[in-house]
Amino acid sequence: MQRTVARVLAAMLAFAATAVPAAQGPAPPSPASASAISIPGTQQFDIASSSGKRSYRIFVSVPAKAAPEHGYPVLYVLDGNVMFLTALEAVRALERRPDMPKDLATVVVGIGYPDGVDAGVERTLDYTPAGGGNPQIRNPGGGADAFLAFVEDDLKPRIAGIARIDRTRQGIFGHSFGGLFVLHSLAARPDAFRVRVAASPSIWFAPKVRDELSAMVAKRKADAPLTAVLLTAGEFEQIPSPQTRVHPNAERLVGVLAERRQVDNARSVAELLAKAPNLDARFDEIAGEDHGTVIPAAISRAVWFMLAPALPVPAVPAAKDYLAMTPAQRYDLRLRVRDLPDRVRVPWLKELKKSLQDGLSPDEVQRLHDERNEMDAKNGTKPHAINADG
């Protein structure tokens, strides 16, 4: 149990130890007295797909807390060999917060690959849909449907045998090709997960995923189960970071960033999905991060997006009451509303807009509009692309 996780952590600690000069601090313990790190409540196992053609290493953490009334929510994390531990700590840190429900307890599942395989080759095949491709990527792809069938038909029943789970609260996180898979899975099996997080999705590799999602949006029914989708991208995934600008191959790298349009693609897909009935979609641009450094921040946002309780919807104030607030109070209210899903936020803003136009003079409305822009500039915030006029 936990052999691979323990070996990874032990190797990290060993590297850190060699970085400290021998003259500083006490001598390190001898190998005979050292022990590997173990993580309570975790296990790992290998499982073959029902087709018998693929094999995966699965990392699982079951909380020490008893299952909630309807069972544990489950977060599935792709690239589990390298992302499971980050996701696990993000989940447990959220559960320890005093402002979270005391019974919040989540099963975390990392989907990875056994020792001895090339994960780069394997993930390209598993995470990309048929019909995609790019001359810069030589590994074979197109296995996303088979991988999705493995998750649904083989892995989920296995996890249900390990812990009592809430089938209505299952989420999935994927980054890069993993984010592309998350979007494809939404089009292929919309009800497979109630929460999906596509971090830095490689839409450039399979642009047809946008057509798949458009078809899903067009036929989605008003009584479909409520689904939440978060797309993220780092600020420096489309424009060059300071490090990229001084790289020896800066011109080529800048060209790749511009060609792939990671930020614009993710934002436009979120806007497309927001049009679907009972589908809350949003896009977060994460400041100061590039395609690699964004991963921990994206995982943290994914965990909050899936597990944090929904925010209460504030009442729409009457025009005179809104005008009587201080600028700070109005700014705080606007920030609370900006965090609401589009299906709630946009009608709220339209109602406020009508209230202000009916109850205030044009000069008062303009002053409030100018104040909003000034407060955003002062605090480094900005409205959503889709607002009361959207």
Strand 107-112 and strand 165-175: pairing?
A: unpaired
Rounded Cα–Cα distance for residues 245 and 63 (Å): 45
Q: What is the Cα gyration radius of the chain?
A: 23
Cβ proximity of 171 and 194 under 8 Å:
yes
Q: Which bin fits 32, alpha (ψ -120 to 50), beta or left (φ > 0)? A: alpha
Check 95, 237, 271, 289 and give the catalytic one.
Answer: 237
Rounded Cα–Cα distance for residues 47 and 58 (Å): 7
Cβ proximity of 231 and 281 under 8 Å:
yes
Rounded Cα–Cα distance for residues 342 and 285 (Å): 17
Active site residue 33: no
3-class secondary-structure state, position 152: helix
Rounded Cα–Cα distance for residues 387 and 338 (Å): 9
Tokens standing for 179?
A: 């984010």
Rounded Cα–Cα distance for residues 253 and 238 (Å): 10
Check 61, 175, 176, 200 and give the catalytic one.
Answer: 176
User: If you count them, how many residues does the chain have?
Assistant: 390
Say which residues have a Cβ less than 8 Å from residue 139's Cβ, sequence separation at least 6: 120, 121, 124, 125
Rounded Cα–Cα distance for residues 380 and 282 (Å): 19
Active site residue 237: yes
* Distances from the Cα of 160 to the Cα of 56, 163, 313, angstroms: 17, 6, 34
Active site residue 214: no
Cβ proximity of 209 and 142 under 8 Å:
no
Check 202, 289, 291, 300 and give the catalytic one.
Answer: 291
3-class secondary-structure state, position 199: strand
Q: Which residues are catalytic?
A: 176, 237, 291
